[in-house]
């Protein structure tokens, strides 16, 4: 069942591509002359390169995996998420809201804004929460990537314990990424993002082509199978059996706040040659934001249809834990030799590109926003910055290795990522937007709302919270009485991931306003860099 079309030719394509990527990452090191070059590419990236890098950063293998998983589980309804991503980036690019003033300030990291607008303490707290949420968020990336490689290449059937293969691949990939990220910094990130954009545009286009042109898949067939299986819920995201309105509102807020404050993507606005280029990057990069989530979503939708035609696979995928294997297995079976190698190489590049961007973004936050401000001079020298960033990259890499091997994947990877993102975004985006557009915003208000975002951490254990609220045992293996099951169902209506996350966003806004009004700053706001 696990055999795919992956052959020696495909393996050669993948190895050649990997070797090329690592070599380029190492070679560009000679163009890095100072910390600005290392952290923000010397602010020398033009609009087209910025667009490619912006899309490349967001187009990670983990994005493809969670998007396909959502498509596989929810059908066409999932497409509302890419539509929201498209709308958010188009509006930000057209208006320049937040992103243009950020670039104008010539910052190196997003939390640096908090010192610029508020004070050093706020920057350190923002940096700490940003790095904590970001590294936790990234914790699932290696494993998801390794699962794709394992099942798309047919390695899943090599041994009785596919987990061993997954862990071995995770280790190899992380070591490769660490090699060229520590050496080349942002310049290496920009180059590899561009390469990835080239290969993946082609690979994703071909992947779609093979989905739509096969007789057993195709648009009509996909629509018909999903329609029979789930009815309106497969197409209407607001339907009671689909995501529902609360989830849609959460996603609208999350995609917008992520675009302006999530370090790996928002930091792209800092690498461009001018504020105008940042706006153009967001506006023209918007279709990429859509495609990076819509195409794998469609693969997931197609994988469901593909599997529904084979009794052995239907039995295997009846276990929800296997859902993440569906899309890679389908691609491995429908893509021809050679093209499969190209696609796997592109997706491996996607894996590495996201890792290098994220590693660099969180390491830059650690060096610039936590360690730097804590030194007697208040900042690190160029040499120290690069050294601390490199050490942080390696430290995070080691954490990812341990986490990737030991951590068990949750049922919904997307929800896990959205919740960990909310830990930082709920507070940071509020303090960022408020700081820019509300003169009375104060450092105490900013600190309170940043800390308020930590209230999202318990949401990671929402099932336990629901059981606690319903007054039933926390042990989910224990059978429930009819009354307990009914009580738990009632609790789930008002206490779930979207309602809890929205409540955290609301809490942050309230804390920010109350803190700012009750404890105003004594100094002049404009003198500390309030922007129009």
- In the complex, the residues that contact another protein under the rule CB under 8 A are 28, 31-34, 36-37, 41-52, 76, 79, 82-83, 86, 104, 106, 187, 190-191, 194, 197-198, 201, 205, 208, 219, 223, 227, 231-232, 235-236, 274, 284-285, 287-288, 290-291, 294-295, 298
- Residue closer to another protein by CB (options 283, 317) is 283
How many helices (DSSP H) and strands (DSSP E) are in the chain? 24, 0
Residue showing tokens 């545009």: 201
Q: Nearer Cβ to another protein, position 110 or 147?
A: 110
Cα gap 350→195, rounded to integer Å: 10
- Specify the residue, 236 or 308, whose C-beta has the smaller distance to another protein: 236
The CA radius of gyration of the chain, in Å to the nearest whole number, is 23
CA atoms within 13 A on the CB side of 339: 16
Smallest distance, another protein to C-beta of residue 124, A: 22
- Nearest CA-CA partner of 429 in 54, 126, 84: 126
Please, which residue, 286 or 425, has the CB nearer to another protein? Answer: 286
Minimum distance between the CB of residue 256 and another protein, rounded to whole angstroms?
Answer: 18
Return the closest-CA partner of residue 124 out of 132, 116, 114.
114
**Nearest distance, CB of residue 452 and another protein, angstroms:** 33
Distance CA 171, CA 2 (A): 22
Nearer to another protein, 28 or 413 (CB): 28
What tokens appear for 189 in the block? Answer: 């990130």
Nearest to 207 by CA among 336, 324, 309: 336
Residue 107 or 513 with smaller CB distance to another protein? 107
Q: How far is the CB of 223 from another protein (least distance, A)?
A: 6
Distance (Å, whole) CA 285 – CA 40: 19
Nearer of residues 6 and 284 to another protein, judged by Cβ = 284
Is residue 515 within 8 Å of 449, Cβ to Cβ? yes
For the record, the structure tokens of 457 come out as 């951490």
Using alpha carbons, select from 342, 358, 355 the residue that is nearest to residue 200: 342
Smallest distance from the beta carbon of 455 to another protein, in angstroms? 35
Please state the closest distance from residue 428 (CB atom) to another protein, in A.
24
Q: Shortest gap between Cβ of 503 and another protein (angstroms)?
A: 29
Q: 192: which 2 tokens?
A: 């590899």
**Unique residue bearing structure tokens 């070059």:** 37
To the nearest whole angstrom, how small is the minimum distance from the Cβ of residue 253 to another protein? 21
Q: Phi first, then psi: what are they for 272, rounded to 5°? A: -80, 170
Closer by beta carbon to another protein, 32 or else 508: 32
For residue 290, give the 3-state DSSP assignment: helix
Q: Tokens for 302?
A: 């197609």
Nearer Cβ to another protein (163/382):
382
Distance CA 327, CA 147 (A): 10
Q: Report the C-alpha gap between 113 and 7 in whole angstroms.
A: 50
Distance of closest approach, residue 426 Cβ to another protein, in angstroms: 28
Q: How far apart are CA 163 and CA 168, in angstroms?
A: 9
Q: Which is nearer to another protein, 165 or 389 (CB)?
A: 389
User: Residue 274 CB, nearest distance to another protein (Å)?
Assistant: 7
Question: Which 8-state DSSP code applies to residue 409?
Answer: P
């Amino acid at each position: 069942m696990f055999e795919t079309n992956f052959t020696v030719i495909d393996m050669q394509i993948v190895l050649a591509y990997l070797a090329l990527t690592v070599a380029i990452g190492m070679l560009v090191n000679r163009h890095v002359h100072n910390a600005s070059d290392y952290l923000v590419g010397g602010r020398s990236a033009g609009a087209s390169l910025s667009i490619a890098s912006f899309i490349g950063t967001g187009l990670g293998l983990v994005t493809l995996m969670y998007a396909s998983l959502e498509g596989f589980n929810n059908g066409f309804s999932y497409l509302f998420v890419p539509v929201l991503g498209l709308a958010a980036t188009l509006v930000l690019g057209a208006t320049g809201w937040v992103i243009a003033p950020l670039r104008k300030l010539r910052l190196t990291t997003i939390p640096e804004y908090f010192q610029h607008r508020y004070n050093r303490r706020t920057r350190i707290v923002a940096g700490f929460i940003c790095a904590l949420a970001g590294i936790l968020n990234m914790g699932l990336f290696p494993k998801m990537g390794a699962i794709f490689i394992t099942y798309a290449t047919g390695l899943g059937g090599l041994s009785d314990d596919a987990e061993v293969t997954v862990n071995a691949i995770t280790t190899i990939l992380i070591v490769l990424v660490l090699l060229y990220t520590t050496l080349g910094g942002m310049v290496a990130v920009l180059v590899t993002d561009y390469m990835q954009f080239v290969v993946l545009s082609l690979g994703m286009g071909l992947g779609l082509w093979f989905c739509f042109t096969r007789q057993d898949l195709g648009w009509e067939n996909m629509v018909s199978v999903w329609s029979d299986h789930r009815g309106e819920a497969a197409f209407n995201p607001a339907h009671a059996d689909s995501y529902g309105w609360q989830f849609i509102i959460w996603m609208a807020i999350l995609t917008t706040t992520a675009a302006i404050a999530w370090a790996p993507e928002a930091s792209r606005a800092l690498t461009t040659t001018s504020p105008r280029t940042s706006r153009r990057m967001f506006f023209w990069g918007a279709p990429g934001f859509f495609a990076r989530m819509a195409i794998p979503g469609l693969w997931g939708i197609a994988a469901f249809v593909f599997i529904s035609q084979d009794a052995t696979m239907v039995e295997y995928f009846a276990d929800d834990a296997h859902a993440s294997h569906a899309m890679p297995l389908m691609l491995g079976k429908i893509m021809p030799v050679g093209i499969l190698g190209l696609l796997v190489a592109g997706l491996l590049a996607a894996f590495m590109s996201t890792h290098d961007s994220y590693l660099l973004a969180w390491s830059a936050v650690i060096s610039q926003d936590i360690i730097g401000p804590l030194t007697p001079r208040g900042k690190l020298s160029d040499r120290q910055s690069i050294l601390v960033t490199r050490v942080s990259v390696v430290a995070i890499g080691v954490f990812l290795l341990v986490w990737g091997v030991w951590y068990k994947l949750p049922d919904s990877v997307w929800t896990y990522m959205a919740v960990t993102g909310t830990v930082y975004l709920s507070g940071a985006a509020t303090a960022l937007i408020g700081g820019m557009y509300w003169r009375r915003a104060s450092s105490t208000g900013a600190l309170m709302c940043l800390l308020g975002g930590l209230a999202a951490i318990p949401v990671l254990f929402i099932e336990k919270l629901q059981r606690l609220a319903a007054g039933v045992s926390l042990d989910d293996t224990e059978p429930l009485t009819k009354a307990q099951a009914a009580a738990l169902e009632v609790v789930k209506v008002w206490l779930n991931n979207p309602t809890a996350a929205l409540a955290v966003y609301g809490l942050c806004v309230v804390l920010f306003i109350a803190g700012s009004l009750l404890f105003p700053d004594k100094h002049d706001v404009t003198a500390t860099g309030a922007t129009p």
